[in-house]
Amino acid sequence: MTGSRSKLDVSGNRNVRSEQNVQSHALVVRIAHWLMALSIVLLIASGWRIYDASPIFGFRFPVWTTLGGDVETALAVHNDPGVATAIAWHFAAMWLLLASYLSFVLWGLFSGHFWRDFLPVGPQSFLRDFIAAARFRLEHRLGEYNAVQRVFYWGVLALVALMLLSGIAIWKPVQTYPLEALLGGFQGARIVHFAGMALIAGFIVVHVTLVILVPRTFIAMVTGRAEEPAPHRPTETVP
Amino acid sequence: MSVERRHLLRGGLSLSALTLLTGCDLSDSNVVQRVLADISRWNDRVQAALFSDNRLAPTFPAERAVKDFRYNAWYGADRAPDLKAADYRLTLSGLIADKHPWTVEQLYALPQQSQVTRHVCVEGWSMIGQWTGAPLRTFLERVGADTTAKYVGFECADGYYEGMDMPTALHPQTIMAFYLSDEILPRKYGYPFKIRVPTKLGFKNPKFVTTIYVTNIRPRGFWTDRGYNWFSGI
């Protein structure tokens, strides 16, 4: 479970750990997090190779950033620039994403993780923390998410849902027919799928940058626990 | 099933983890290709389960049909087979009672229907066209095909070959298309006929069909042999 600030534990006492700037993640959260990370990287890289086969916009992704094998080899063996392999990756990784995403979301909803750690959040607190972050004045406290983080986590979770939906609309436009209409038709679904990818890629850049700035959060997501020494409270003792 | 699933999970997880950790593209490894092919077979099953016999592909008003339809093949249009009605015979094989070859004249005399549907290419582009022809189901019933068999396969004059599951072959919108935009199917689009199946990706719509067979052994497919998913339903 994620340790969080001043929350009551089951016995009704203040959660002592949270006062210590401790971040902890349940095993299921860590496994789901890394599987989502892996599947999203595979989906984006293979998706770029697929995109390149028939670009929506006036550019292509450089081949080295894409997944699907060596183009010359694929052309020689298959008369295909690795799009077949990219699609095979894409439709394999989608199951991994679906499974890890559902585990993450169901756990988050039913364990209370989402309600405890991602709420409350509102436009005011978001704006306040966003401005503070933009001026490098937002303090990071382990175990507590600021309003910007909260909005980003809700946002990326919603984006993955949108990617799954728009992906299904593109994969099965006939069998799920009314679905594509919600996304503006088949081409609309492709554009939504692309835009969702771009936003998720942007999230990953910000997310990874912040992890590099506060490396303890990485330790917590791997080992399950990380804490920050609290020099301002030398009198506090850990039981 | 369980072996495949285990294979899929274990192989898929460890291989993709390895790809990420080593930071290199393992796509060309035989093991990776094997695992991806296993998952693709699993996806065939999922798609067969998702396929509905009576769900129709969306149709569009005739004015949305593109007149100058995109030509697509691995060779240039000038190298497309130039089949002549006088010499052409459609041969039948496999689990079919009446294997008499069919002439173009006989084929074009079959009862026909018209559809304005969307062709979706595996690459991502799509195009709406108008095709007219005989339901494949009507033809299969006429020649006494065993429609309880699992698959229908096609061989083509350009060396192409394809196949599909029987439920899709019997789908009301799966037709032997003799006309594109009310014109007799031009040479480059597959004269004398192509299989038009709007519930599958474009490459499952073979042109220049010269043989139709019914079988319980899954037919190979030109692009499936090159790594694309076999069922490729949409």
| CA distances for A55 relative to A47, A163, B46, B72, angstroms | 11, 18, 28, 16
Say how far apart CA B32 and CA B12 lie, in whole Å.
8
Q: How far is B81 from chain A (nearest CA, A)?
A: 20
pLDDT, average across residues B141-165: 97
Q: Residue written as tokens 């909803």?
A: A109
For chains A and B, CB pairs below 8 A equal 112
Which residues lie across from B94 on neighbouring strands? B214
Partners of B38 on chain A (C-beta within 8 Å) are none
Give the confidence band of B27 by pLDDT, cuts at 50, 70, 90: confident
Q: pLDDT tens digit string along B156-203?
A: 999 999 999 999 999 999 999 999 999 999 999 999 999 999 999 999
Q: pLDDT tens digit string along A110-122?
A: 998 888 888 888 8
Q: pLDDT tens digit string along B201-221?
A: 999 999 999 999 999 999 999
Q: Residue written as tokens 């997310």?
A: A207
Nearest residue of A to residue B49, measured between CA atoms: A175
pLDDT attached to residue A225: 87
By percentage, how much of chain A surpasses pLDDT 70?
87
Helix axis angle, A83-110 relative to A71-78, nearest 10°?
A: 120
| CA distances for A234 relative to A5, A39, A43, A229, angstroms | 19, 43, 47, 9
Q: Does A208 touch chain B (CB under 8 A)?
A: no
pLDDT attached to residue B110: 98
pLDDT above 90 (res A165) = yes
pLDDT above 90 (res A194) = yes
pLDDT attached to residue A58: 94
Mean pLDDT of chain B: 92
Pairing assessment for the beta strands B209-215 and B91-94 based on DSSP bridges: parallel
pLDDT attached to residue A190: 97
Q: How far is B101 from chain A (nearest CA, A)?
A: 33
Give the confidence band of A65 by pLDDT, cuts at 50, 70, 90: very high
pLDDT attached to residue B11: 58
Is the separation of the CB atoms in A19 and A3 below 8 Å? no
Partners of B8 on chain A (C-beta within 8 Å) are 92
Sheet (strand B161-165) strand order: B91-94, B209-215, B151-156, B161-165
Q: Counting beta carbons within 10 angstroms of the beta carbon of residue A232, is it exposed (0 to 12), middle (13 to 18) or buried (19 or more)? A: exposed
pTM of the model: 0.86
Sign of CA dihedral B173, B161, A187, B65: negative
Give the confidence band of A134 by pLDDT, cuts at 50, 70, 90: confident
Give the residue from B153, B154, B139, B155 showing the smallest Cα distance to B106: B139
Residue from B25, B39, B226 to probe the interface with A (highest A Cβ count within 10 Å): B25
Say how far apart CA B12 and CA A89 lie, in whole Å.
10
pLDDT, average across residues A173-180: 92
Q: How far is A89 from chain B (nearest CA, A)?
A: 7
Helix, strand or coil for residue A177? coil
Lowest mean pLDDT among A222-231, B88-97, B189-198: A222-231
pLDDT, average across residues A71-90: 91
Give the confidence band of A78 by pLDDT, cuts at 50, 70, 90: confident
Helices and strands (H, E) in chain A, number of each type = 10, 2
Cβ contact A175–B74 (<8 Å) = no
Give the residue from A191, A208, A100 showing the smallest Cα distance to A152: A208
Say how far apart CA A18 and CA A23 lie, in whole Å.
8
Mean pLDDT of chain A: 86
Give the confidence band of A97 by pLDDT, cuts at 50, 70, 90: very high
Pairing assessment for the beta strands B113-120 and B126-135 based on DSSP bridges: antiparallel
Q: pLDDT tens digit string along A9-56?
A: 343 333 334 446 788 899 999 999 999 999 999 999 999 999 999 999
Of B17, B20, B118, the CB nearest to A186: B118
Q: Counting beta carbons within 10 angstroms of the beta carbon of residue B159, is it exposed (0 to 12), middle (13 to 18) or buried (19 or more)? A: exposed
| CA distances for A122 relative to A35, A129, A154, A210, B149, angstroms | 30, 11, 12, 22, 60
